[in-house]
């Protein structure tokens, strides 16, 4: 009964704080929408909304087969349904470089004078090979355009070799990040990240700050002189934190229904691992609260740890290859293993031993240190 | 006797210039001590931009990459291939493997960009690690491999034309990836330094009664506002110079600053961002809500301003957002003063003037609302 | 006596709330004037209006004999203020805070002399955030007089302090008067007003309900003092008879109501000596401002 009343009181206290509701429930959901909207097309060229502005400069008018080939090529790119390419034509007297600098163009393909000798090159072997220039800038969209045009020109060279015929090839792409036969899906990559983000918000901020806040305000002291037991207080606190987190997870699951995420997210294995992740992460909150009594110091430390962990756990991008002076943190930090564990499950890969052991070690460390400092925390 | 506009902005000489200067200098001295002794404030103003620089610089930038040339990859080859297969992958490096497992391991450990298993001449498997970092690049790798294996399949003897890439400089120096990243980090640092600090000045100081205490002295509202703002500008400048220094030391940043215009931009933009902080305070009223809103805005600006990836990567429906974010324009002027991009002088002056005037007007508004208004001074 | 501040019909209304509803004040030069009332009576609103932090809804304010429309720079140079709740910059040291406030005025007292005067020597290099409540109030008081003001406003200066710190602050406030300053003090502590004030204004619900010296206010009650005492053993004696009916028994104690306290005390001692009775728990309760307030409002100051 006491546990119930305490839990209700603490839960109300949590849910009436705008910052807790916003950062734990709303923000991960918003970030999920953002990441999926922006980046899920990154791996799919066909769904990409990249709009590359290409300038085509003819120093001399193309003739013959050369004209046909490149004319068809650019026409094909322009008429592409996905609007990836936007082509503008210039002759040598136009100010195409100014257009490039002014960002009206991303990249320029330049056909210099003498390029028409390609027509002879189709027949004769000893003709000097003409050059195409690709003019680009340092901007990343421009270097991307350069690389794309390089590949297209490579393809043109190939087609000339085959007299325009496509080469029959069977190219099977295998992603080593997922189980063989399963295509890489960005959504399977980001969904666990959002779950971990919600969990981290509770374990790095809500929990430790609430523990220290209740202590410094005298709330825990006040409750300790009631008949409620210490265990009642402790469990009521944990449950109230858990409730906020559960809502966040439910919201993420609800939103995931609108996206094509692996059905493994409904499996017992995934739920089990999710629960394991929650428990191990919450012990972090206890660890922080054990060491810092002042809210201002605790807030600073948890902020730093949150950002460090967020960026160095592989939540948003791969960190397996970063220099050692940063990588040591990814290796000891349990969030790395928890998020990878979830991803493995979604990608039908098996869990590795370190995905369980390392978070478990942190879990016990958190519990032991907290228990040892229990008196200090509750005072 | 010279009167200021509404007694706030131009100098008022009726009481003697000497006394006003003395009071003003006194206030500046107070705020400098208070600001630079607030370890948390100093730590966050300096720490976070440096942290982002190191993380993003380390993860996303490879110092040996040059924007001038096409990126070179390393491919692993295994299986049933003929001896001169590497010719078709030129100029990229090729390593031959006796074991498929070793090939896969080297791909997973990022020693290889990708791996190709030749089953037959027209039948290949391409192994890769797909991750968010390399999203766009993996498309490029795929195109390179596709062209190479097709050429191999048909035994393509020659290229009919060559492709030369030519880098067009946009400014005084050729900017590398780290230079573009650095200017982005500087923009975000100026944004956070200006926006969050002013919320502290008007929100926190008001809540703690510090504004009220000063308002019963002869200190004028504009003296209070200007001296407190000046100190935050100073802290921001320190942060900026530390970031530039670290970028030069650790990442060989190439930037060629015109230090005078750089200083002008830092000051004008900090004032502009302070104005943004004031706007947020006016809209959200409470300090905590303003901090939350600023954090959200900061996150939005991080992703929508083209700093970490081109705006073209965003869905077309949301690209317009980047055009209304002040950080987008700030990044542009920083790239101009650092020499990596060009800009018309009129545009440069206009952007700076907009920052300064918008900032001053909003700071003046804040002085009216938070430093003279009875409702906001008294509890 | 010249009035250094005069207020006629001061009102401060916030929509339906009449925080100050027609107050008249006359504050003489060199006086300590207490504005006494419970929480929410309108004390802080009144003084903050005089300090210029709030604009009056109506009424007249006269400073140094001149009517003012607002508290301008000239007046601010001549007044010192200790607000009810204000913090200083947490990361400044004591001497730096006093210095910084001193630098805001044309005329100022040296920081060293203030540190000596307010007994802050040991703490002068301590950060504000590391001071105790009493020390912070002393710093606030030092800042309030750094410009050697003619008038000092103190808004509940001893709230939250322990009795020793409170007494110490009273001594400092008395010293201000000796230095020739006029002190306007708001408080809800009756003892503070009784100890310090030359004149008291009792305020409730935004109106002055009584004014005068402490003695004048108490005398309006027409109340006697009461001497409380008990005897250790009565040895068969009836004290009521002994004192010829002047004593009554209430809750096991004897109560002797009298307007001549000294004479009555002598009587008690003589009787106890003659009858070999040992007196215990003797104390005298005089009518005080709490009684005045209770009489006027039906409530105590602390309600």
Same domain (yes/no): C110, C229: no
Residue C296, in any domain of the structure? no
Residue C231 is part of which domain span? 225-286
CB contact under 8 A, B167 and A138: yes
Q: What are phi and psi of A278, to 5 degrees?
A: -65, -50
Same domain (yes/no): B104, B200: no
The answer, yes or no, to whether residue A337 has pLDDT greater than 90, is yes
Same domain (yes/no): A12, A116: no
Task: Give the model's pLDDT for residue B9.
Answer: 36
- Flag whether residue B217 sits within 8 Å of chain A, measured between CB atoms: no
Which residue in chain B has the smallest CA separation from C92? Answer: B34
Same domain (yes/no): A149, A237: no
Task: Give the model's pLDDT for residue B131.
Answer: 60
Domain total of chain A: 2
State whether the Cα torsion B221-B226-B231-B236 is positive or negative: positive
Q: From residue B133, give the alpha-carbon distance in Å to each of A248, B56, B73, B139, C119.
A: 27, 11, 16, 12, 64
Q: Contact, A95 vs A103, CB < 8 A?
A: no
Same domain (yes/no): B102, B232: no
The answer, yes or no, to whether residue A50 has pLDDT greater than 80, is no
Pair of tokens at residue A256:
């995931």
The answer, yes or no, to whether residue A373 has pLDDT greater than 90, is no
Same domain (yes/no): C24, C48: yes
Widest distance between CA atoms in chain B: 94
Task: Give the model's pLDDT for residue B6.
Answer: 36
State whether the Cα torsion C218-C221-C224-C230 is positive or negative: negative
- Indicate the pLDDT class of residue C259, thresholds 50, 70 and 90: confident
Q: What are phi and psi of C85, to 5 degrees?
A: -140, 105
Residues shown for chain A: 379
Pair of tokens at residue A160:
């000339």
pLDDT tens for each residue of B304-321: 887 777 777 777 777 888
Pair of tokens at residue C97:
């805070």
Same domain (yes/no): B316, B209: yes
Task: Give the model's pLDDT for residue B377.
Answer: 62
* C170: nearest Cα among C194, C152, C192, C150: C192
Mean pLDDT for A80-104 is 84
CATH of residue A121: 3.40.1710.10
Same domain (yes/no): C212, C229: no
Q: Which residues pair with C230 in a beta bridge?
A: C280
Task: Give the model's pLDDT for residue A178.
Answer: 62
Same domain (yes/no): C57, C148: yes
* C295: nearest Cα among C193, C221, C191, C222: C221
Scanning chain A, the segments in alpha helix (DSSP H) are: 2-15, 18-21, 27-39, 64-78, 96-101, 118-121, 140-161, 186-200, 207-217, 219-224, 230-256, 268-291, 295-311, 324-332, 334-346, 354-372, 374-378
Domain total of chain B: 2
Residue C156, in any domain of the structure? yes
Task: Give the model's pLDDT for residue A379.
Answer: 46
CB contact under 8 A, B219 and C81: no
Same domain (yes/no): C116, C246: no
Find where tokens 């409702």 sit: B375
Pair of tokens at residue A159:
């087609």
Task: Give the model's pLDDT for residue A196.
Answer: 95
Which residue in chain B has the smallest CA separation from C88? Answer: B210
Task: Give the model's pLDDT for residue B378.
Answer: 62
Q: Exposed, middle or buried, C284 (CB in 10 Å: 0-12/13-18/19+)?
A: middle
β pairing state of B114-120 and B123-128: antiparallel
Same domain (yes/no): A273, A326: yes
Same domain (yes/no): B222, B365: yes
Same domain (yes/no): A12, A61: no
- Flag whether residue A301 sits within 8 Å of chain B, measured between CB atoms: no
Residue C297, in any domain of the structure? no
Same domain (yes/no): A37, A57: no
The answer, yes or no, to whether residue A225 has pLDDT greater than 70, is no
Task: Give the model's pLDDT for residue B5.
Answer: 34
- Among candidate residues B154, B179, B207, the one where a domain is terminated: B154
Residue C303, in any domain of the structure? no
CB contact under 8 A, C89 and B22: no
> How many CA atoms within 13 Å lie on the side-chain side of B66?
7
Residue A266, in any domain of the structure? yes
Task: Give the model's pLDDT for residue A250.
Answer: 95
CATH of residue B120: 3.40.1710.10
- Among candidate residues C167, C192, C219, the one where a domain is terminated: C219
Lowest mean pLDDT among C140-144, C278-282, C294-298: C294-298
Q: Contact, C54 vs C12, CB < 8 A?
A: yes
Same domain (yes/no): C8, C119: yes
Q: Which residues of chain B fall short of a pLDDT of 50?
A: 1-14, 64
Interface test with A, best of B64, B145, B160 (most A CBs within 10 A): B160
Residue A260, in any domain of the structure? yes
Same domain (yes/no): B338, B286: yes
Same domain (yes/no): B78, B58: no
b/e sequence A117-131, b meaning 16+ C-beta within 10 Å? ebbebeeeeeeeebe
Residue from the list B54, B108, B179 with its beta carbon closest to the beta carbon of A176: B108
Residue C267, in any domain of the structure? yes
Residue B283, in any domain of the structure? yes
Task: Give the model's pLDDT for residue B14.
Answer: 44
Residue C133, in any domain of the structure? yes
CB contact under 8 A, B33 and C89: yes
* B338: nearest Cα among B194, B270, B232, B240: B240
Same domain (yes/no): C127, C191: yes
Same domain (yes/no): C92, C22: yes
Pair of tokens at residue B124:
């290949």
Q: How far apart are CA C197 and CA B99, in angstroms?
A: 98
Residue A352 is part of which domain span? 2-41+184-378
Same domain (yes/no): C101, C233: no
Same domain (yes/no): B114, B178: no
Mean pLDDT for A176-198 is 79
CB within 8 Å of chain A, chain B residues 74-133: 104, 107-110, 122-133
The answer, yes or no, to whether residue C12 has pLDDT greater than 60, is yes
Mean pLDDT for A251-267 is 89
Pair of tokens at residue A81:
């349904």
Same domain (yes/no): A223, A100: no
Task: Give the model's pLDDT for residue C111.
Answer: 94
Residue A267, in any domain of the structure? yes
Q: Contact, A176 vs B108, CB < 8 A?
A: yes
Same domain (yes/no): A198, A338: yes
Same domain (yes/no): B198, B272: yes
The answer, yes or no, to whether residue A11 has pLDDT greater than 60, is yes
Task: Give the model's pLDDT for residue B263.
Answer: 92
- Flag whether residue A160 sits within 8 Å of chain B, measured between CB atoms: yes
Residue C294, in any domain of the structure? no
Same domain (yes/no): A31, A66: no
Q: What are phi and psi of C285, to 5 degrees?
A: -115, 115
Domain total of chain C: 2
Same domain (yes/no): B128, B182: no
The answer, yes or no, to whether residue A377 has pLDDT greater than 60, is no
Task: Give the model's pLDDT for residue B4.
Answer: 34
Q: Exposed, middle or buried, A98 (CB in 10 Å: 0-12/13-18/19+)?
A: exposed
Residue C293, in any domain of the structure? no
Chain A residues in contact with B151 by the CB 8 A cut-off are 158, 161
Residue A179, in any domain of the structure? no
For residues A137 and C35, the model is more confident at C35
Same domain (yes/no): B184, B120: no
Find where tokens 């590359």 sit: A52
Among the ranges B145-149, C219-223, C247-251, which has the highest mean pLDDT value?
Answer: B145-149
Same domain (yes/no): B294, B263: yes
Widest distance between CA atoms in chain A: 100
Same domain (yes/no): B175, B150: no
Residue B161, in any domain of the structure? no
Q: Order the strands of the C207-212 sheet from edge to edge.
A: C79-82, C151-155, C182-187, C32-36, C199-204, C207-212
Task: Give the model's pLDDT for residue A40.
Answer: 67
Q: How many CB atoms lie within 10 A of CB C60?
A: 14
Lowest mean pLDDT among A83-92, C51-60, C82-91: C82-91
Q: What are phi and psi of C235, to 5 degrees?
A: 50, 40
Indicate the average pLDDT of chain B: 82
CB contact under 8 A, C104 and B27: yes
Residue B322 is part of which domain span? 5-62+171-377
């Amino acid at each position: 009964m006491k546990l119930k009343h305490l839990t209700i009181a603490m839960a109300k206290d949590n849910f009436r704080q705008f910052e807790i509701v916003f950062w734990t429930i709303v923000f991960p959901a918003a970030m999920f929408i953002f990441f999926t909207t922006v980046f899920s097309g990154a791996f799919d060229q066909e769904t990409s909304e990249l709009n590359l502005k290409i300038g085509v400069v003819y120093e001399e008018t193309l003739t013959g087969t050369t004209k046909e080939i490149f004319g068809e090529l650019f026409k094909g790119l322009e008429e592409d349904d996905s609007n990836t390419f936007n082509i503008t034509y210039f002759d040598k007297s136009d100010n195409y470089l100014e257009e490039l600098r002014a960002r009206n163009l991303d990249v320029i393909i330049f056909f210099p004078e003498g390029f028409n000798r390609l027509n002879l090159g189709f027949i004769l072997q000893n003709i000097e090979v003409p050059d195409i220039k690709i003019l680009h800038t340092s901007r990343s969209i421009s270097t991307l355009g350069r690389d794309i045009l390089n590949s297209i020109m490579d393809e043109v060279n190939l087609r000339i070799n085959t007299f325009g015929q496509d080469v029959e090839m069977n190219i099977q792409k295998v992603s080593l990040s997922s189980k063989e036969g399963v295509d890489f899906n960005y959504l399977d990559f980001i969904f666990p990240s959002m779950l971990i983000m919600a969990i981290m918000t509770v374990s790095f901020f809500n929990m430790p700050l609430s523990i220290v806040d209740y202590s410094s305000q005298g709330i825990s002291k006040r409750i300790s002189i009631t008949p409620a037991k210490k265990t009642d207080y402790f469990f009521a606190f944990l449950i109230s934190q858990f409730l906020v987190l559960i809502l966040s997870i439910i919201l993420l699951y609800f939103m995931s229904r609108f996206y094509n995420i692996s059905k493994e997210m409904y499996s017992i294995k995934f739920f089990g691992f999710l629960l394991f992740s929650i428990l191990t992460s919450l012990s972090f909150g206890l660890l922080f609260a054990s060491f810092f009594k002042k809210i201002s110091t605790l807030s600073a430390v948890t902020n730093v740890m949150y950002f460090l962990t967020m960026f160095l756990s592989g939540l948003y991008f791969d960190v397996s290859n970063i220099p050692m002076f940063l990588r040591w943190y990814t290796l000891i930090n349990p969030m790395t293993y928890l998020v990878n564990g979830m991803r493995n499950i979604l990608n039908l890969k098996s869990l590795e031993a370190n995905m369980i052991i390392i978070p478990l070690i942190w879990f016990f460390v958190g519990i032991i240190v907290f228990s040892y400092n229990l008196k200090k925390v509750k005072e | 006797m010279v009167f200021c506009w509404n007694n706030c902005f131009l100098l008022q000489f009726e009481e003697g210039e000497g006394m006003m200067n003395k009071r003003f200098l006194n206030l500046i001295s107070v705020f400098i001590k208070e600001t630079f002794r607030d370890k948390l404030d100093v730590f966050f103003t300096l720490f976070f931009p440096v942290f982002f620089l190191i993380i993003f610089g380390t993860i996303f930038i490879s110092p040996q990459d040059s924007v001038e040339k096409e990126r070179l990859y390393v491919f692993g080859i295994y299986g049933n291939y003929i001896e001169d297969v590497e010719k078709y992958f030129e100029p990229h490096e090729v390593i031959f493997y006796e074991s498929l497992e070793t090939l896969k391991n080297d791909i997973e450990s990022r020693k290889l960009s990708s791996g190709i298993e030749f089953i037959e001449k027209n039948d290949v498997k391409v192994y890769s690690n797909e991750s968010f970092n390399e999203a766009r690049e993996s498309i490029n790798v795929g195109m390179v491999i596709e062209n190479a294996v097709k050429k191999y399949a048909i035994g393509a003897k020659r290229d009919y034309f060559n492709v030369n890439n030519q880098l067009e400089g946009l400014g005084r120096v050729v900017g590398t990836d780290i230079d573009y990243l650095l200017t982005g980090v500087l923009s975000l640092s100026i944004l956070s330094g200006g926006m969050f600090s002013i919320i502290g000045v008007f929100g926190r100081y008001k809540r703690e009664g510090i504004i009220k205490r000063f308002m019963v002295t002869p200190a004028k509202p504009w003296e209070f506002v200007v001296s407190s703002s000046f100190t935050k500008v100073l802290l921001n400048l320190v942060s900026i110079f530390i970031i530039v220094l670290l970028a030069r030391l650790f990442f060989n940043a190439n930037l060629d600053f015109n230090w005078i215009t750089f200083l002008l931009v830092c000051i004008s933009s900090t004032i502009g961002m302070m104005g943004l902080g004031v706007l947020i305070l006016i809209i959200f009223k409470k300090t905590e809500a303003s901090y939350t809103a600023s954090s959200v805005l900061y996150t939005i600006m991080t992703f929508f301003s083209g700093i970490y990836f081109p705006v073209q990567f965003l869905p077309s429906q949301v690209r317009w957002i980047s055009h209304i974010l002040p950080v987008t324009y700030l990044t542009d002027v920083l790239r101009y003063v650092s020499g990596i991009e060009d800009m018309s002088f009129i545009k440069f002056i206009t952007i700076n003037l907009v920052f300064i005037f918008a900032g001053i007007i909003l700071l003046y508004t804040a002085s009216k609302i938070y430093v003279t208004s009875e409702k906001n001074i008294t509890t | 006596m010249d009035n250094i501040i005069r207020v006629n019909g001061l009102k401060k209304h916030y929509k339906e709330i009449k925080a100050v509803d027609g107050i008249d004040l006359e504050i003489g030069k060199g006086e300590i004037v207490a504005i006494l009332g419970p929480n929410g009576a309108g004390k802080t609103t009144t003084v903050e209006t005089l300090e210029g932090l709030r604009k009056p809804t109506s009424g007249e304010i006269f400073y140094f004999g001149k009517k003012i429309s607002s508290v301008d720079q000239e007046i601010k140079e001549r007044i010192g203020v200790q607000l009810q709740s204000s913090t200083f910059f947490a990361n400044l040291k004591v001497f730096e805070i006093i210095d910084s406030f001193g630098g805001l005025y044309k005329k100022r007292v040296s920081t060293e002399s203030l540190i000596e005067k307010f007994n802050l020597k040991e703490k002068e290099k301590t950060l504000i955030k590391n001071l105790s409540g009493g020390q912070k109030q002393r710093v606030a008081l030092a800042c309030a007089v750094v410009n050697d003001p003619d008038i000092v406003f103190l808004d509940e200066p001893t709230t939250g302090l322990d009795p020793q710190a409170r007494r110490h602050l009273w001594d400092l406030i008395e010293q201000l008067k000796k230095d020739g300053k006029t002190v306007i003090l708001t408080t809800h502590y009756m003892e503070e007003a009784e100890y310090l004030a030359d004149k008291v204004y009792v305020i409730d619900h935004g109106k002055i309900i009584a004014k005068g010296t402490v003695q004048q206010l108490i005398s309006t009650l027409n109340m006697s003092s009461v001497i409380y005492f008990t005897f250790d053993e009565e040895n068969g004696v009836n004290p009521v008879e002994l004192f010829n009916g002047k004593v009554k028994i209430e809750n096991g104690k004897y109560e002797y109501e009298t307007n001549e306290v000294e004479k009555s005390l002598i009587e008690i001692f003589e009787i106890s000596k003659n009858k070999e009775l040992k007196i215990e728990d003797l104390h005298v309760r005089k009518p005080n401002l709490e009684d005045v307030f209770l009489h006027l409002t039906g409530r105590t100051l602390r309600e």
